[in-house]
Amino acid sequence: MRLTRTLAIGAAVAATFAVVGAQRSDSPAVQVDPFWPKPLPEHWILGSVTGIALDSRDHLWVVHRGASSLNARTEIGLASTPPSAEACCLPAPSVLQFDPAGNLAGHWKGPGEGYQWPQSPGGMTVDAKGNVWITAAGPADPLPGARGRGAAATPPPPDAHVLKFAGDGRFLLQIGKPGQTGDSNSTSGLNRPTAVDVDAAANEVYVADGMANRRIVVFDAESGAYKRHWGAYGARPDDGDPGPYDPSAAPAKQFRVPACVKISKDGFVYVCDRRNDRIQVFRKDGTFVKEAFIARETRGEGSVWAIAFSNDPQQRSLYVADGSNQKIWVLRRDTLDAPTSFGAGGRWPGHFYGVGSVAVDSAGNVYTGEAYEGKRVQKFTRAGAARSNAKEQP
């Protein structure tokens, strides 16, 4: 009787939190899976999620801020000395891996020998060889509603590096060093890079650099040697203060926050210019191709936080995480128009608080990660389809 009732309640919850998207054939309605992922062991909880990525096995990788983004009084009592609570909670390891069913399949954390772990991680990607790349984007920005974390008397130097690990957490490469920052035209230094993607064919790593700089910079993926960089419209970046964002003004000539970089199968480079509410598209040499604005009236942290491509061979749809308006936009990739969306602000399954990461697996399932006080990952499937077998078709 109890099992029957539990299943009935679960079905009701899933139906209640169905999230209806567009009715275009290449942008299907989606439905949140409220039971994914499965609970973590050892009383672990996530901090603010800064990056998610999928590998070739459709395993979801997650990186989060951990203890620095958790409430010291109410969320990490078990980590206190002495522990202040019996049941809640411990920060989970910094990097987690989930299988398609939502089981925890692996985990590891820094720091370690030979590299500097970020004050606050940024975005992540998993390359074709299964290596995990993480940007160091700290110091962490203040979180809405955060309490109980005193500021250090002398702030540590800002993060300015990118890390490469094997899938088991073995350190492989560090590009840049914390505190050794460079400006937007430096060939040797970064400054709080936000995101990373890898071009396997060319063996190059693309870095969105980032929270302090205003450029995309490319390095050799094995040696870390500098190769090239560019700013908005493919021009030389400028570190001058652009002033507050004005949606009625002419488009800014510089990036404000290049918050993501993604390479499509047909060789175009997509960049999130978060606080300018736009996507810009380039060729791999930095030649500007086109741009599009998303929710252009959005001020403050902006509307374009992260992007992912649909799973069809042509990657006809583009998913855009909007952490200010708390939704996922779905665009036609060829024209960057006809936007539809799913999600809304809130804490229920299918709603968002600071959705800053998005990924799509080989079956067309959509995954999201929430920063700020959202502190979770969610999985969305095609409405009415089997959770693990929904194939997105053009």
pLDDT surpasses 50 at 150: no
- pLDDT category at 153 given cuts 50, 70, 90 is low
Domain count, the chain: 1
Q: How high is the mean pLDDT of the chain? A: 89
Q: Measured between alpha carbons, how far is 141 from 152 in angstroms, rounded to an integer?
A: 14
- pLDDT category at 141 given cuts 50, 70, 90 is low
**Arithmetic mean of pLDDT, 67-89:** 87
Confidence (pLDDT) at 79: 87
CA pseudo-torsion sign 355, 273, 142, 94: positive
**Arithmetic mean of pLDDT, 138-148:** 54
The answer to whether 15 and 85 are in contact (CB under 8 A) is no
pLDDT tens figures, 278-292: 999 999 999 999 999
- 393 belongs to a structural domain: no
Exposure string of 145-169, with b = 16+ CB inside 10 Å and e = fewer, is ebeebeeeeeeeebbbbbbbbebeb
Confidence (pLDDT) at 384: 57
- 339 belongs to a structural domain: yes
pLDDT surpasses 80 at 189: yes
Length of the chain: 394
- pLDDT category at 184 given cuts 50, 70, 90 is very high
Confidence (pLDDT) at 385: 55
Place of tokens 């989970």: 92
- 101 belongs to a structural domain: yes
Nearest one of 360, 371, 289 to 330, comparing CA atoms: 360
pLDDT surpasses 90 at 25: no
Q: Measured between alpha carbons, how far is 149 from 69 in angstroms, rounded to an integer?
A: 9
pLDDT tens figures, 92-133: 999 999 999 999 999 999 999 999 999 999 999 999 999 999
Give the DSSP H/E element, type plus range, for residue 244: none
Q: Say what the pTM is.
A: 0.90
- 160 belongs to a structural domain: yes
**Arithmetic mean of pLDDT, 25-48:** 89
- 8 belongs to a structural domain: no
278: containing domain: 17-146+156-240+250-382
Confidence (pLDDT) at 61: 99
- 369 belongs to a structural domain: yes
CATH code (residue 291):
2.120.10.30
- 256 belongs to a structural domain: yes
Q: Measured between alpha carbons, how far is 108 from 338 in angstroms, rounded to an integer?
A: 41
- 9 belongs to a structural domain: no
pLDDT surpasses 80 at 389: no
